[in-house]
Structure 1
């Protein structure tokens, strides 16, 4: 599984965006997590703003699903995050952990 992380904002709230490619499942995933939440299980569940597992009917084999979800949530991520997830999927790459600097943020162009 590849994991790509960046920090962003959801409205006025700081968030951690974790996305990537799950090689065994051949699917992409996306998590948007509130920053600064406590570690209890109840707080952890409430920390998630978005989890792609909650929308299994979406086509998570398509990078556009990931980008469209970020646009719908009004969350900006570095272009490098999208590009590298796409390459991970294209070349069936796993076992990657990449942090993308938030200073490379921009609008997500259509794929």
Structure 2
């Protein structure tokens, strides 16, 4: 699952908001954890799992829940969580700052591929391109990374290839 984290305050008390995409179960989630919860109060101010239909809620729903609680989070959290669902990304941990900057420790350097990235066909050999064209998927070496690639058809046009996992 992807996890987008933002530390802030609610009524003068520290909380951590987590919004993300649960890849195996295919739904967005949100929790707000009290960081100084007293023994007689729950650790979580909010959890989508406390909702009657907690696994079918949308990002706009969570935006409304945050507004009702008076908690503001960076727009980047919603944008990135939506991108994670579109690309079916998991195993991603991103810390967001109020100014919209992000820190993603798992992205060790900017030129490393991640699950969901579009693969440039120019970076592939003739044999690799033929394999992908014939099967619609395959394992190819890009730079120093062996990646599993699948054909993807975005709604706006022709096919493209995306990283699906790593070898």
TM score, norm. by length of structure 2: 0.54
1:28·1:66 contact (CA, 8 Å) conserved in 2? no
CA distance in 1, matches of 2:7, 2:24: 26
The structural deviation recorded for 1:36 is: 3.4
1:33·1:50 contact (CA, 8 Å) conserved in 2? yes
Give the number of equivalent residue pairs. 99
- Residue aligning to 2:20: 20
1:27–1:56 CA distance, 2 compared to 1 (3 A) = farther
Residue from 84, 89, 105 that aligns with 1:88: 84
For the pair 1:33 / 2:29, whether they are aligned, the reply is: no
- Residue aligning to 2:139: none
- Residue aligning to 1:98: 94
Deviating 4+ runs (over 3 angstroms) = none
The structural deviation recorded for 1:103 is: 4.0
1:2–1:80 CA distance, 2 compared to 1 (3 A) = same
2:13·2:36 contact (CA, 8 Å) conserved in 1? no
Task: Indicate the structure (1 or 2) with the bigger Cα radius of gyration.
Answer: 2
RMSD: 2.0
Residue from 38, 49, 55 that aligns with 1:53: 49
The structural deviation recorded for 1:56 is: 3.4
- Residue aligning to 1:109: none
1:9·1:76 contact (CA, 8 Å) conserved in 2? no
1:26-75 Cα distance to aligned partner (Å, 9 max, x none): 1111110112348xxxx4x7221111100032532x22122111112211
CA distance in 1, matches of 2:47, 2:4: 15
CA distance in 2, matches of 1:91, 1:81: 15
